[in-house]
Chain A
């Protein structure tokens, strides 16, 4: 395993894709921080309001990175020379997963450093407690590792690099949309002010009178549906990143546990299929 890791990192340090990803992480975090600061004149919140957008970037960047970097093993045929040399498949897969996990952490670090360097002078410090801040940082790393795991699985199972790249990026975008929808559904308030539906020129509108009584929100999820939505919000890396980005992480341990479960499941499935796969 050490040999494969050594070879992987030797290649990583010569990879333009990796350095482009690091620069991208720096750029996106800087841009999101500056644009958020510009939009709010009197900033009275902590830095956390604009700081934790990088997990979203990592969730999108990992499929692209794995599709290009790991997918090249199929495209360039170098996977064949590893297998023909008698390297067990599980070692090849695990070494690639470990590399992808480290890259996800590197992308996160590349975003955190300028975020701190710019954010503290511009906005001031975090309003979160040290414990909460640590939880957010650890959870953001867990989100990156989970994204690395599913991206590795796709890159190792789809032999056509272009197809693998497109499939994994589209999947990430689709699941980001699912994550956003889950987040929106769970943030619906339990009670809302009573409003009256009116139709004007065929347009439906809701009129809320000042001081109207609070009534149950019909869009508020309850029971099994709420539990299921919460599960998937904390299970999928594409929705985990929203809870971190919007600092609505109520259950950090649940996120860590489900991120570990997600990583284990995708790795197990990927390994199981890769070991039996006919490599061309």
Chain B
């Protein structure tokens, strides 16, 4: 698999605080990589380091195959757009002028892509309205448009839906999905809103205390979070035999418990177990969301 961004043992120490502690992660090309972690977990620090705003204290990272400190890294950064914390906008300028500024900074030969970018983010009708008078959602979308100047193929978004109303959240989600599907842009996105992230991400990185706790793909996470009932019986072998006969998907947790996936007809199950002289002792429905998966993974309070 080709990776856009790889970090190896990345550390960032402030005076009395380790913001990143040997963090290792890999963002596959074409993915929407959701960075999940509670406040102070190190998400924004990681993004700042990756964007070149801060140097790592130890470890390294590779962007499009160019290692940190290598000569070609600045050129590799040209393939990246970022919105770190708040959108980077000139408040006294219109949407068009903000994009013209970024085009000039990047040395783009003309401003041909500006109308398309404004249309893409739904800001084509803002006219002479200054960015300072935009709503938060409009600012966020303009920030993304600025990050898209120069046609990058890797977009880094730090908490892009923070503070947005439900409509704004949906607009940003649709924009990110559109960029990923239509323009094949790889997206690294950090968010507190796990439910929202679960509608977007194809890969997840769970970060806690500056460390990468686990990296999983959306499929792996779906499998881990599937609806199931956890059954306890007197004879586990009898239950396995019955489930095979009923053609049910299951996984054996230990010598007492079995997770059964999909809808379960309890009467049918009890009847079949009875034929095998096996008793059903308890049955618990399990529905693990991304949030509960995360809480189980890192523990602590529910502020991820």
Q: Which A residues lie at the B interface, using CB under 8 A?
A: 2-4, 6-7, 10-11, 14-16, 72, 76-88, 276, 278-280
Contacts and interface: CB of A to CB of B under 8 A. Distances in A.
28 contacts: A3-B105, A3-B107, A10-B100, A10-B104, A11-B101, A16-B92, A77-B86, A77-B89, A80-B51, A80-B53, A81-B146, A81-B147, A84-B53, A84-B77, A84-B81, A84-B82, A84-B156, A85-B77, A85-B78, A85-B80, A85-B81, A85-B106, A85-B150, A86-B73, A86-B76, A276-B55, A278-B55, A279-B48
A86 B88 contact: no
A82 B53 CA distance: 10
Interface in B82-112: 82, 84-93, 97, 100-102, 104-107
B18 interface: no
Given A77-B87, A81-B146, A81-B147, A278 B82 contact: no
Contacts, number: 90
A80 to B, nearest CB: 5
Interface of B: 48, 51-55, 73-78, 80-82, 84-93, 97, 100-102, 104-107, 146-147, 150, 156
Given A84-B81, A86-B74, A10 B89 contact: no
Given A81-B82, A278-B48, 12 more contacts: A3-B105, A7-B101, A77-B87, A77-B88, A77-B89, A78-B88, A80-B51, A81-B88, A82-B105, A85-B81, A85-B106, A85-B150
Contact of B104 (A6, A15, A79, A86): A6
B52 A7 contact: no
Contacts of B53: 80, 83-84, 278-280
Nearest to A16: B92
A14 B92 contact: yes
A88 B75 CA distance: 10
A11 B90 contact: yes
Contacts of A88: 74
- Top-10 shortest CB links A-B: A86-B77, A3-B107, A7-B104, A81-B88, A77-B88, A86-B74, A84-B51, A84-B82, A279-B53, A278-B54
A84 B87 CA distance: 13
Contacts of B86: 77
Contacts of B77: 84-86
A76 B51 contact: no
B105 A87 contact: yes
Contacts of A2: 107
Contacts of B81: 84-85
